Homo-oligomer: A and B are copies of this chain.
Amino acid sequence: MGQIGKCIVLLSGGLDSSTVAYWAKKQGYNLRGLSYKYGQIGAKEVEHANLIAQKLGISLKIIDLSSLKEIFAGVTSLCDENIEMTPTFSQPIIVPFRNAIFLSVAVAYAVSIDATKVLYGAQSSDEPFYPDCRREFYKTFEKAAKLGTSKDITIEAPFSDIAKSEIIKLGTELGVPFQLTWSCYLNGSKHCGKCESCTNRKKAFKEAGIYDPTGYDE
């Protein structure tokens, strides 16, 4: 398949965005990875994004927005060790408007390298909880991106209609090295196995009926 044009993929190092990247590579996109530090406790996800980018043979730009911790500390357990990390969804897991910040910078990056597409890994299992993972949000944001840049930039979340377990099935077909991905909100040597993200990861592998190669602490 030929190259379709420059395309940026938001690569967090988790399994959803890694599968988006493998899927996009297969579509023939001329892919560039983009990853962020934003004051998250689980900052080692960025190293995992790098491992995935290397495996896939694409570049990865890492933008350090760690100063955002000044905003997110006190608000979200993902950026503040003093806020309880819950095993199921709770309000403080939300990093407010995070995906909009990520998409804004991605659109700026797209303009800077003449890319016309930005991909991110929003999926339907997160939609009920995370408003910035919903199609209505990112399609409206896409409209703002076209208006704010005067460029025909599209924003797509190719898996926004499918569940995490389906992404795992698809990723398995695509050869995504799930053992190299990182989902945990903490920054331990292994996945904690207890935070919301680890819980969702475990559950999705189980639902998919696919062997979970993740080493969990428990």
Q: Are A111 and B96 in contact (CB under 8 A)?
A: yes
**Which of A67, A97, A107 gathers the greatest number of chain B CB atoms within 10 Å?**
A97
List, sorted by A's number, 14 A–B pairs whose CB atoms are closer than 8 Å. Answer: A63-B68, A74-B112, A96-B107, A96-B149, A97-B108, A97-B148, A100-B104, A100-B108, A131-B147, A132-B149, A134-B147, A137-B147, A140-B140, A141-B148
Q: Which residues of B contact A82 (CB under 8 A)?
A: none
Bound Cα distance from A192 to B96, whole angstroms: 39
Given contacts A67-B64, A107-B97, A108-B98, contact A137 B148 (CB under 8 A): yes
Interface of A is mostly: helix
Is there contact, CB below 8 Å, between B108 and A96? Answer: yes
- Binary interface encoding of chain A residues 78-121 relative to chain B, with 1 for a CB under 8 A from any of its CBs, else 0: 00000000000000000111111101110111011000000000
Tell me the smallest distance from the CB of A38 to a CB of chain B, in Å.
10
Q: A interface, how many residues as a size bin?
A: 35 or more
A144 near B141 (CB under 8 angstroms)? yes
A residues adjacent to B (C-beta < 8 A): 61, 63-65, 67-68, 70-72, 74-75, 95-101, 103-105, 107-109, 111-112, 131-132, 134, 136-137, 140-141, 143-145, 147-150
Q: Determine whether the beta carbon of B65 is less than 8 Å from that of A100.
A: no
The answer to whether A105 and B148 touch across the interface, beta carbons within 8 angstroms, is: no
Contacts of A63 in B (CB 8 A): 67-68, 70-71
* Closest-CB distance, A117 to chain B (whole angstroms): 15
Q: B65, B112, B134: which contacts A67 (Cβ < 8 A)?
A: B65
Chain B residue at minimal CB-CB distance from A63: B67
Residues of B within 8 A of A141 (CB): 141, 144, 148
